[in-house]
Structure 1
Amino acid sequence: MSEEKYLQLNNGLKMPIVGYGTWMASEEEITFAVNEALKVGYRHIDTAPVYLNEKAIGNILKEWLSEGKINRSDIFVTTKLPPPADRLDLVELTLRKSLEDLQLDYVDLYLIHTPFTVVLDEKGEFKRYEDGSIVVDPRTDHAAIWKEMEGLVAKGLIKSIGISNFNLKQIKKLMEHCTIQPAVLQIEHHIYLQQPELIDYCKSVGIAITAYSPLGSKGVGALNKMVGVERELPDLFDVPEVKKFAEKYNKSPAQVLLRWIVQKGISVIPKSTNAKRMRENKDIFDFELSPKEIEQLNKLDANVRIVDFAFFKGVDKHPEFPF
């Protein structure tokens, strides 16, 4: 049975294969949840400035570190360069603000959150159209941003750098210009959106994959409604094959979905603020799906994207869309 609980990154560092995602949780929720996650044994925490929870996470990390419950080397913290900061003059400033909020001297992984930039208004807030949707600027120099991030590695502010939501064309182009190769690509990945060509390429060049929304993301529906986008999102827990394997192994559908991903050598960052489900999401190393069962789930790929960035106005007009 595969018991590998870390992914070896291309720079020699290790990343816990099961992490805790923190998107779309209030400050109060995340304060409880991150504390509970650390109690359960999560040691990989994924956040971002746009999640508006780095300060709350920082307070919990400071408490655990100052009380000696964990050492800094025990935890793997990921945060991201947010879409408005895809500008050369903002990269270091933005990282330093994240470090201040997280109350850390360095982050283990820093990702370019999106391959596109969003526009800020005169107040420093997201510039929006009349319908409330966010204005997207398609002009982003990924190679130049990456050079800035490489410089932050040299300064000791980041251990590893990577990308999020980049497509195959963008990754190949970045690879032509980088000195430090991306360590991780974080993408939406689940049974209905598998992106095998993208994943196969990344694995062939030594880029590890992290799957976000591995269980789906019901919160995206609320974001879409804010900008007038109505579409039904799939319930991954209700898929017959998933339910059948859950019953067979006496596991939850979530555990089956996560085990399917982890067995393929991909890390996962499921998010929950429910203590019981948080424990279940981490308890996936005492069973193993058979090769036939893996293949049955592989065949469910339908190219159904849940996080399609519909809440960003005009993102589908970006010359390099979809991401």
Structure 2
Amino acid sequence: MARPAIGAQASRLARDLPLGCSTGSARIPKLVYGTAWKKDQTADLVYLALKTGFRGVDTAAQPKHYDERGVGAGVKRAIGEGLIKREDLFIQTKFTSPGGQNHITPYDINAPLADKVHQSVQSSLENFTVEGQEPYLDSLVLHSPLETMQETVTVWKTLESYTPHKIRHLGISNTTLPIVAALVSDMTVKPAVVQNRFHNKTGYEKDLRTFCREHKIVFQSFWTVSANRHLLQSSPVREVAQKAGVGAVPAFYSLVLGLEGTTILDGTTSETHMIDDLEGIEVVGAWAEGEGADDWDFALRGFKQLIGES
């Protein structure tokens, strides 16, 4: 059974996050369905995720690791069957530089950099064109900084030309604090999202997440489970799972979301896990705002200590 979309009555923990931009009221779901490495299962899994209750989808114009056309097919199938409306979705894709591509690219590999960006954006808009509607992307993320800051700025300024109508928000992934700070300082359109790995080798991006919170930038966490099996077994996660009555993964996700200003890419291929994750963070949120408030605060403090955050 499809889970209702998270709305205004959801717990604070599960409620969609606002995104700073000129379009005003745009929001991003706390769990965004990740579509990397789904290959020929992409369309069916995206459709299943939307049917189950996901309202955000992350992909990339990078055939090496993503099937963006398949993502679009899954989205259009769900819309065509009346399961969702386009305006209720958060669709995010990426521009990937030549260094992150293989022999199949969404642009002419010999074209000037700005032209590569234009061709990539146009291919993404085509993949998400819904019949009878003007296509747009809720977010377009620069997959990683380019080799030089000048090239990064060229790509960013080219993407700015599509805002706010064709592209509602811009973001950057696999990046560093100095680069994000430079974009905030120097660019006309500020980054609305930063998508980075969440693991101990980067100190769980404590300083970058702090900067993002201060500048109202949403931090999108990925590799959240696969890189943190040790945290799944930690005392705070076990305590939340046991007392709120959920599995270890939604308990862990809830604690990551409790860091504030954070969303999570969830790429599970299991319908059961999709349901458990979506419903689990709502259950934890309701428990944390009710009878479990003290236990939640204690667990969250312990979790923050584990990842080096006071």
Quote the Cα distance in structure 2 between the aligned partners of 1:248 and 1:298.
Answer: 19
Quote the Cα distance in structure 2 between the aligned partners of 1:75 and 1:142.
Answer: 28
Tell me which stretches of 4 or more aligned residues in structure 1 moved more than 3 Å.
137-140, 190-193, 233-236, 238-241
Counterpart of 2:210 in structure 1 is 200
CA displacement, residues 262-295 of structure 1 (integer Å, 9 cap, x when unaligned): 2222111211001111111111112236222111
Task: Please say if 1:260 is aligned against 2:286.
Answer: no
Paired residue for 1:70, among 84, 105, 108?
84
Give the letter aligned to residue 54 of structure 2. Y
Counterpart of 1:272 in structure 2 is 268
Q: 1:235 to 1:25 in 2, by over 3 A?
A: farther
Counterpart of 1:113 in structure 2 is 143
- Following superposition, the deviation at residue 114 of structure 1 comes to 0.7
Give the letter aligned to residue 18 of structure 1. L
Give the letter aligned to residue 255 of structure 2. W
Task: Please say if 1:168 is aligned against 2:183.
Answer: no
Paired residue for 1:90, among 116, 128, 133?
116
Conserved in 2, the CA contact under 8 Å of 1:81 and 1:113? yes
Counterpart of 1:239 in structure 2 is 234
Quote the Cα distance in structure 1 between the aligned partners of 2:18 and 2:115.
Answer: 32
Give the letter aligned to residue 68 of structure 2. E
Paired residue for 2:27, among 5, 14, 17?
14
Quote the Cα distance in structure 2 between the aligned partners of 1:290 and 1:191.
Answer: 23
Query: 3-state DSSP class of the match of 1:195?
Result: helix
Query: 3-state DSSP class of the match of 2:114?
Result: coil
Conserved in 1, the CA contact under 8 Å of 2:39 and 2:67? yes
Paired residue for 1:157, among 158, 162, 166?
166
Query: 3-state DSSP class of the match of 1:141?
Result: helix
Give the letter aligned to residue 109 of structure 1. S
Quote the Cα distance in structure 1 between the aligned partners of 2:257 and 2:124.
Answer: 29
Task: Please say if 1:286 is aligned against 2:283.
Answer: yes
Conserved in 2, the CA contact under 8 Å of 1:19 and 1:44? yes
Q: Which blocks of at least 5 consecutive residues in structure 2 are unaligned?
A: 1-10, 101-112, 289-294
Conserved in 2, the CA contact under 8 Å of 1:85 and 1:91? no
Query: 3-state DSSP class of the match of 1:176?
Result: helix
TM-score (norm 1): 0.75
Quote the Cα distance in structure 1 between the aligned partners of 2:239 and 2:76.
Answer: 43
Say which structure is richer in helix: 2
Give the letter aligned to residue 285 of structure 1. E
Counterpart of 2:155 in structure 1 is 145
CA displacement, residues 135-187 of structure 1 (integer Å, 9 cap, x when unaligned): xx567622221110110115x32111111122111111122321111111111
Conserved in 2, the CA contact under 8 Å of 1:91 and 1:148? yes
Query: 3-state DSSP class of the match of 2:138?
Result: strand
Task: Please say if 1:181 is aligned against 2:193.
Answer: no
Conserved in 2, the CA contact under 8 Å of 1:19 and 1:45? yes
Counterpart of 1:127 in structure 2 is none
TM-score (norm 2): 0.78
Conserved in 1, the CA contact under 8 Å of 2:45 and 2:74? no
Give the letter aligned to residue 158 of structure 1. I
- Following superposition, the deviation at residue 234 of structure 1 comes to 4.5
Residues matched between the structures, number: 266
Q: How does 1:17-32 map to 2 (within 5 A)?
A: 17-28=30-41, 30-32=42-44
- Following superposition, the deviation at residue 31 of structure 1 comes to 2.6
Counterpart of 1:44 in structure 2 is 56
Counterpart of 1:59 in structure 2 is 73
Counterpart of 1:306 in structure 2 is none
Quote the Cα distance in structure 1 between the aligned partners of 2:75 and 2:137.
Answer: 12
Quote the Cα distance in structure 2 between the aligned partners of 1:194 and 1:27.
Answer: 32
Conserved in 1, the CA contact under 8 Å of 2:236 and 2:300? no
Query: 3-state DSSP class of the match of 2:169?
Result: strand
Conserved in 2, the CA contact under 8 Å of 1:142 and 1:174? no
Q: Which blocks of at least 5 consecutive residues in structure 1 are unaligned?
A: 117-136, 218-232, 304-323
- Following superposition, the deviation at residue 191 of structure 1 comes to 7.2
